[in-house]
């Protein structure tokens, strides 16, 4: 167990659904946290859903949600999660019903962890729980969020923000990333990785929202960096310099870097590190090569460099990763 919140097993999670709730966001906590099990298969989280007054609400997908609980569920929850919404006063004018705001603040004040998925951050902000804090939400709602809540330190480029007992995530599938992060924080990487595999999702996604923001389609393949990326992927075992990539693309370094970031959301150096890490993961899972050999084949050069970057991006050492996935 990584912190005191994880000590109650199962850890009690209340999902607070409001009218216009995003259907995928609503189901994410039960699906992902429900997949987290101890070594003896004991469920580590108990997830329940509530609404104000325990009344039915509409979802964004054209069906009604019939909850089993009202706001009293928040009074005994260890973690409270607010899914995104597609309509309502939190999005329109930055306000939320007084009973909802009071229930959320009371849960936080007594020590509960409070989280939001996607536009659920508007609800937390309207309840006053994000004032002065770093937070994120769906990139498409960033301008509206800043206008309604200028006192929040919004970062629309990341997949999620963990600010202690208040956590927020970006749009839709980023809620999966946040829930897996919570499992990893509470119970370690091995449990989180098993939960990810059970849900058939990657245990960790690199990069931020920038790679998903709508961008104009490149005018032609000749002007893009796709061919150079393929060329670099075939040479991960070798040093690949930025100037070599730019030369292959027949661009200046400055132009190449601008095109590369526009197409991938990452700098060439970040992208190369991502590709080297993913190649090392494949080798750890599918071969019996030594960690030292994998470090060379993936282009890290030394075992120390592989360990440092692998742990930073995946959350565990190469050896621990191999034990889990072999």
List the beta bridge partners of residue 49: 15
Pairing of the two strands 160-163 and 166-169: antiparallel
How crowded is residue 251: how many other Cβ atoms within 10 Å of its Cβ? 18
Among candidate residues 50, 118, 179, 199, the one labeled active-site is 118
Q: Positive or negative CA dihedral for 63, 67, 70, 73?
A: negative
d(CA 213, CA 24): 19
d(CA 287, CA 146): 49
Task: Spell out a b/e string for 189-222, using b for 16 or more CB atoms within 10 Å of the CB, else e.
Answer: bbbbbbbbeebebebbebbbbbbbeeeeeeeeee
118 is catalytic: yes
Task: Answer left, alpha or beta for residue 15, where phi above 0 means left and psi between -120 and 50 means alpha.
Answer: beta
Q: Are 146 and 121 in contact (CB under 8 A)?
A: no
Q: Are 274 and 202 in contact (CB under 8 A)?
A: no
Angle between helices 174-187 and 23-34 (to 10 degrees): 30
List the beta bridge partners of residue 166: 114, 163
Active site residues: 118
């Amino acid at each position: 167990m990584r912190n005191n919140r994880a000590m109650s097993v199962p850890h009690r999670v209340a999902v607070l659904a409001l009218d216009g709730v995003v259907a995928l966001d609503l189901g994410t906590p039960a699906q992902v946290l429900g997949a987290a099990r101890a070594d003896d298969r004991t469920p580590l989280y108990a997830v329940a859903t509530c609404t104000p007054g325990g009344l039915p609400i509409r979802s964004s997908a054209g069906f009604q949600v019939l909850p089993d609980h009202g706001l009293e569920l928040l009074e005994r929850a260890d973690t409270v999660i607010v899914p995104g919404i597609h309509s309502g006063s939190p999005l329109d004018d930055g306000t939320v019903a007084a009973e909802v705001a009071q229930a959320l603040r009371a849960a936080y004040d007594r020590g509960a962890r409070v989280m939001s998925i996607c536009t659920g951050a508007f609800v937390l902000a309207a309840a006053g729980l994000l004032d002065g804090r770093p937070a994120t939400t769906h990139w498409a709602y960033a301008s509206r969020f800043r206008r309604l809540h200028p006192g929040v330190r919004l970062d629309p480029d990341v997949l999620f923000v963990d600010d202690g007992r208040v956590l927020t995530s970006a749009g839709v599938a980023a809620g999966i990333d946040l829930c897996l992060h919570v499992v990893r924080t509470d119970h370690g990487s091995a449990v989180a990785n098993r939960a990810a595999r059970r849900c058939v999702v990657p245990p960790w996604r690199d990069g931020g929202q920038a790679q998903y923001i709508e961008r104009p389609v490149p005018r032609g393949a000749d002007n893009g960096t796709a061919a150079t990326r393929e060329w670099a992927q075939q040479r991960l075992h070798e040093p690949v310099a930025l100037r070599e990539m730019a030369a292959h693309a027949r661009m200046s370094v400055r132009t190449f870097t601008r095109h590369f970031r526009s197409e991938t959301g990452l700098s060439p150096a970040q992208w190369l590190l991502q590709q080297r890490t993913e190649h090392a993961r494949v080798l750890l899972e599918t071969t019996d090569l030594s960690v030292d050999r994998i470090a060379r084949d993936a282009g890290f050069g030394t075992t120390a460099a592989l360990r440092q970057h692998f742990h930073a991006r995946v959350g565990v050492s190469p050896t621990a990763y191999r034990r889990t996935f072999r």
